[in-house]
Structure 1
């Protein structure tokens, strides 16, 4: 392999070159772990330039997970190739609020990769456990609309191999087994009504996986505040962790965002329609003419997606103390949302 996949394997000369500088311009760098992601390892690199250059003082390096289970599921689902391809092919000209990519590379095995991204500090990562209210989610809804407007009912949705990758057979085979493990792990943490949502999804799994959305577009697939960086004032944000990109309904992304983010059940129940209406208005500002009624159905069914991801991811990646609780709330909040919206009945 011709490129490094961890900070320890990076030379100053290699890194300087990827940042557009002469090999001897960078004396060295230090690396510190950032983020709470369990599918990849991310590091802030603080750069010691030999002289003044037109280059950043810090960057973020994103690399394959050190955990074998996480790397394995990434290979099966195409997780790493999706993120690398997003930065290579779409991000730079998309206008979507995301980090700037200085370098993106991935090996033929679709596991070994490296991304060198702009460091958005002092922007801070959202906190899934603490949650965020509807007012705080407004810039996220705007950013989501920007992403969804990018390829709204666009023919390019069918021409990008990494985006058209179908994991339906993998999900059909794995989800029932993963749910059994999830139910056992969280038997004392989640009540039976929440746990039973998973059984309801399994009963309707084919309908869930094959349902056609009201309008197809590119979707983030894991749009929650752990995967969003917020400016210091909270009025600006950037979407990160593009490993679950796919084609679907933008309303599903939105339901996932609202359902996984708002901790207070009463606020969450009151937030669904206002959040949806704000998203519709943001799409219209971007030249999209959405079918509101049909997309509202997509939103209601999309409430299941947060729970679905919690089951799939929690049983597939490296287990951590924070991760266990994060996945618990990631299942619990959308489950309550889905029950209130009658999501399973729509399938």
Structure 2
């Protein structure tokens, strides 16, 4: 393989040349783990330049996970291919709130890859366990609208094989068994009616996976605040972790964000329609023509997506104490959202 996939395999000369500098311009670098991602390993690289350069003082490197199970599911679902392809083919010049990419490379095995991204510090990762209120989520909703408006109902998206990759058969085969493991793991943590939402999804799995949304666009697919970086004042944000990118319903992306992010159940129940209306207005302001009623139906059904992801991801990535609790709330909050919105009845 012709490129490194971890900081330990990088050399100062390779980094300098990859960042557009002379091979001897970088005296050395230090690597520190950052983030809480369970599908990839991320590091902040502090760069010691010899001087006389406009190169960045630090960058973030994303690499394959050290965990074999995470790498395996990444290969099966095209996770790493999607993120590398996003930065290679779509991100630059899109206007979407995402980090600048200096380098993106992936091997033919769809596992070994490297991304070198702008370090957005002092921006900080959101904390899904703590949650955020609707007002604090407004920049995220605007950023989501910017992504969704980029290729709204664009038939050419189907021509991007990495984006339109169909994993439906894989999900149909795996999800029922994964749900049984999830139910056993969280039997003492989640209420019976929350656990039963998963059983109802299994019973209606074909209807859920086969439903055609009102409009298709580029979707993030895992739009939660753990995957968003916030400026210190909270007025600006950047979307990161593009490993679940796909073609789907933008309204589902939004429902996922609201359902997984707001911790207080009363505030969350009151946030759905105002969040949706803000998103619709943001899309309209970008010139997108909308069928609001149909999109509201997509939003209501999309509330199931957070629960769905919690089951699928929790049973396929490296297990950690924080991860267990994160996946618990990732199921619990959207389950309550979906029950309140009558999401399953719409299927």
Instruction: Name the TM tier (shorter chain).
Output: over 0.9
Distance across 2 between alignment mates of 1:54 and 1:287: 38
Instruction: Verify: 1:295 aligned to 2:306, yes or no.
Output: no
Partner SS for 1:157: helix
The residue number in structure 1 matching 2:168 is: 168
Distance across 2 between alignment mates of 1:117 and 1:270: 37
The residue number in structure 2 matching 1:310 is: 310
**TM superposition shift of 1:155:** 2.0
Distance across 1 between alignment mates of 2:136 and 2:103: 32
The residue number in structure 1 matching 2:75 is: 75
Pairs within 5 Å for 1:85-124: 85-124=85-124
**TM superposition shift of 1:36:** 0.3
Q: Deviations over 1:105-128 (max 9, x none)?
A: 000000000000000000000000
Q: Deviations over 1:149-187 (max 9, x none)?
A: 011011221111100100000000000010000000000
Q: Deviations over 1:255-280 (max 9, x none)?
A: 00000000000000000000000000
The residue number in structure 1 matching 2:139 is: 139
Distance across 1 between alignment mates of 2:55 and 2:97: 21
Partner SS for 2:27: strand
Distance across 1 between alignment mates of 2:8 and 2:50: 20
Distance across 2 between alignment mates of 1:186 and 1:237: 32
- Deviating above 6 A after TM superposition, structure 1's stretches of 4 or more consecutive aligned residues are none
The residue number in structure 1 matching 2:8 is: 8
Partner SS for 1:47: strand
Unaligned residue ranges in structure 1 (runs of 5+) = none
Distance across 2 between alignment mates of 1:125 and 1:156: 33
Distance across 1 between alignment mates of 2:60 and 2:104: 12
**TM superposition shift of 1:93:** 1.5
Unaligned residue ranges in structure 2 (runs of 5+) = none
Distance across 2 between alignment mates of 1:290 and 1:221: 21
**TM superposition shift of 1:289:** 1.2
**TM superposition shift of 1:135:** 0.3
Distance across 1 between alignment mates of 2:345 and 2:36: 35
Distance across 1 between alignment mates of 2:13 and 2:69: 32
The residue number in structure 1 matching 2:130 is: 130
TM-score (norm 2): 1.00
Partner SS for 2:42: strand
Distance across 2 between alignment mates of 1:15 and 1:50: 13
Distance across 2 between alignment mates of 1:99 and 1:142: 16
Distance across 2 between alignment mates of 1:134 and 1:127: 14
Partner SS for 2:21: coil
Distance across 1 between alignment mates of 2:45 and 2:89: 24
The residue number in structure 1 matching 2:216 is: 216
Q: How much is the aligned-residue C-alpha RMSD, in angstroms?
A: 0.4
**TM superposition shift of 1:315:** 0.3
The residue number in structure 1 matching 2:336 is: 336
Distance across 2 between alignment mates of 1:291 and 1:274: 17
Distance across 1 between alignment mates of 2:137 and 2:164: 29
Distance across 2 between alignment mates of 1:193 and 1:121: 41
Distance across 2 between alignment mates of 1:15 and 1:287: 41
Q: Deviations over 1:16-59 (max 9, x none)?
A: 01111000000000000000000000000000001120110000
The residue number in structure 1 matching 2:28 is: 28
Partner SS for 1:243: coil
Aligned length: 347
The residue number in structure 2 matching 1:282 is: 282
The residue number in structure 2 matching 1:202 is: 202
